Amino acid sequence: MDINEMYMIALSGDRDDEEALFQALAERFRLFAEQRLEDPAACEDVVQESLATIAEKYRCMEFSSSFAAWVYGVLQKKIQRYYRAKRYYMDRFENSPAQGVSRPDPELQIALLACLRELCRRSTSQARVLNLVFQGYTISEICARLGLTPNACYVQLSRARAHIRDCLERKKASL
């Protein structure tokens, strides 16, 4: 059955129809994301984040083209955001002499530690989520450990990253 047809049926409010729609989306999204992301854990995170966004908004959205076009657009944007974040962190924190790039300067490392300490004082929940992400836990594992919903986890992570970024910019400007 077509995604747009499944969407129209799911709008009737039947829980089984809604589950069938999201099951079909999950299967198709995984195939789509696996072709674009090399890391299976990142693939699953992107798919789950996309599904969470769709579940939150699909009942109240009006689509200019079609539901299928909108959901794949959501997935594409999540994949793009994953690569932007990956590039950002690789450029700043994963430089190594083996790659022919020097390590971050000591002043940047000191500033980063100060920003992390500031984040811990400001919001321990955001600091915990950020710490678990950097330890390699998936979003679903973090949610299970901390008792958060995926959306709440992504909000905490986004706010923590924004705080670190703003703090580093402030410290860089003061140098």
**For residues 56-81, average pLDDT:** 86
- Of 64, 88, 112, which residue sits at a domain end? 88
- pLDDT digit string (tens) for 99-123? 555 556 778 888 888 999 999 999 9
Looking at the fold, whether 43 and 70 belong to one and the same domain comes out as yes
Looking at the fold, whether 123 and 60 belong to one and the same domain comes out as no
Q: What is the pTM of this model?
A: 0.51
Inter-helix orientation angle 106-122/150-174, to 10°: 130
CB 12 within 8 A of CB 58: no
In the block, residue with structure tokens 């999540």? 78
Percent over 90 (pLDDT), the chain:
40
Q: What is the dihedral of CA 168, 170, 171, 175, to 10 degrees?
A: 130
The pLDDT of residue 40 is 87
- Residue 98 belongs to a domain: no
Range of the domain at 29: 3-88
The pLDDT of residue 162 is 92
Percent over 70 (pLDDT), the chain:
89
CATH of the domain at 139: 1.10.10
**For residues 142-170, average pLDDT:** 92
Q: DSSP letters of 123-162?
A: -HHHHHHHHHHHTT--HHHHHHHHT--HHHHHHHHHHHHH
- pLDDT digit string (tens) for 134-153? 887 888 889 999 999 999 99
Over 70: is that where the pLDDT of 94 sits?
A: no
- Residue 83 belongs to a domain: yes
Looking at the fold, whether 17 and 69 belong to one and the same domain comes out as yes
Looking at the fold, whether 80 and 108 belong to one and the same domain comes out as no
In the block, residue with structure tokens 């594409």? 76
Domain count, the chain: 2
